[in-house]
Chains A and B, each alone.
Chain A
Amino acid sequence: MILKAMLSIWMAVIIVAAFLYTEAAVGFPGETSRILFFHVPQAWVATLSFLVSMIASATYLAKRNLKADYLAQSAAELGFLFCVLATVTGSIFAKATWGSFWNWDPRETSIVILLMIYGAYFALRSAVPDPERKRVFAAVYSILAFTTVPFLIFVVPRITASLHPENTMNPTQPGMDPKTLKVFLGSLLAYTGLFVWMLRLKMRILRLEGLKEPRFGDFI
């Protein structure tokens, strides 16, 4: 309860700071650079949840522990949500700065592939009637999909050059304004906290739903 309250206050502070405390970066039309505080953490959470889902899937295959499957499923669902958010916010920014909603920039390509993987994952889950098999298949698919990621990282940037602003907005570069950096890191923290809170909520829902169906998978 206290953690939840703290998270909401922190989130509110970040939103206010993102618009009032920092100054818009030079070289971007109008106030568009403020997207940094929302879009990048969303993309970060989308990637993080993909990773969490894959690790939980591998754990499930090794231990056949229902909780690991709940974690894998919850992380995948949240990852999908944040993927969509990052895609939408990114598109709006792309329209404002580069003139079109979609450019097949390497990062746009990767997020589309990630969306397709998530879509396939959910389709597979809903198509297998036996609960035990469903969990195994979903976990196996998750690992297969993850196996192809290194290839994507290697292959995708070769198609087109990236449009994404690298230097001005990359926090590891010295060019970033200290105020912007502070708020950006705060926002990363807030989004990660939000992710963890939502993840635990979703897992609780799955566990309660699981109580209705027979839970003999526990014995296995």
Chain B
Amino acid sequence: MKGGRWTTQTGSSTYLSEAIAIWLRDLRIEFRTRYAVNAILMFAVTTLVAVSFSIGSFRIEASEKPFLYAVLLWIILVFSALSGLSRSFVKEEEAGTMDALRLSARPQAVFLGKLFFNLTLLGALELIIVPSFILLMKYEIEYPGFFAAMIISGGFGLGAGTTIVAAMIAQASARGALFSALSFPLLLPLMITAIKGCERAAIGMGTAGWAEVKIAVAYVMIMMVVSLFLFPLVWEE
């Protein structure tokens, strides 16, 4: 065994570089274990199949379609997200790695890293579920651009509203049920907005000004800022 100094480097990091390191590491672990993806996608696919099978594309009157389809789509998206978005924090707690993370990264960076990871999961979820839903249910959309913007901003909202809640419930008992119970009231305004927005996009009426997308974007910004402020309190003892 050789002697000598072990290391001589000292580092300097930014919030963003720390957050990206955490995000990439979470992605790498997720690719290997498919811990969260399995939970979310299986939930989403089974619900989608159940909806499509029991309702089909002809049961609902054409005039009712825009509204009811928006409701069904967002119920699938929100509850699939709630079934798996807490995984990354819960896993960290269960494996006992939270303290190592606390010692090596700034709390805001941890929040951002986990937010990026959750947004990646949500992106994958929407990429699979939304096109399948449109195809299976023969969802006709007058303004696809507005519709896509609504789906994307709504997805960001789901991530921004739930990441700090996930950090809290990871440190509590009865985690699974608690996550939905705590997140749902926070997500309701977003969900109502997104449903309304998708309905308008389908009808092709009243999309001027993109009001719903703006509300969703405002929701994302405010929840992110508030979470960044509050996260250190939740994360550190």
Q: CB within 8 Å of B: which residues of A? A: 61, 113, 116-117, 119-120, 123-124, 127-129, 132-133, 136-137, 140-141, 143-145, 147-148, 151-152, 154-156, 158-159
Contact = CB atoms under 8 A, between A and B. Distances in A.
25 contacts: A61-B233, A116-B184, A116-B188, A120-B184, A124-B168, A124-B182, A127-B169, A137-B168, A137-B171, A137-B234, A140-B164, A140-B168, A140-B230, A140-B234, A144-B186, A144-B227, A148-B186, A148-B219, A148-B223, A151-B190, A151-B193, A151-B219, A155-B193, A156-B189, A159-B196
B192 interface: yes
B178 interface: yes
Interface string B176-208: 001001101110111011001000000000000
Given A129-B173, A141-B168, A136 B182 contact: no
Nearest to A141: B182
A129 B230 CA distance: 20
B215 interface: yes
B172 A128 contact: yes
A145 B186 contact: yes
A12 B230 CA distance: 45
B188 A144 contact: no
A120 B233 CA distance: 19
Contacts of A124: 168-169, 172, 178, 182
B174 interface: yes
Interface residues of B, number: 32
A144 B171 contact: no
Which residue of A117, A136, A143, A147 has the most chain B CB atoms within 10 A of its CB atom?
A147
Contacts of B219: 148, 151
B182 A120 contact: yes
B55 interface: no
B78 to A, nearest CB: 14
B64 interface: no
B186 A123 contact: no
Given A137-B172, A144-B226, A148-B219, 14 more contacts: A61-B233, A123-B181, A124-B169, A124-B172, A124-B178, A124-B182, A128-B173, A133-B237, A144-B165, A144-B186, A144-B230, A148-B188, A154-B215, A158-B196
B127 interface: no
B49 interface: no
B199 to A, nearest CB: 11
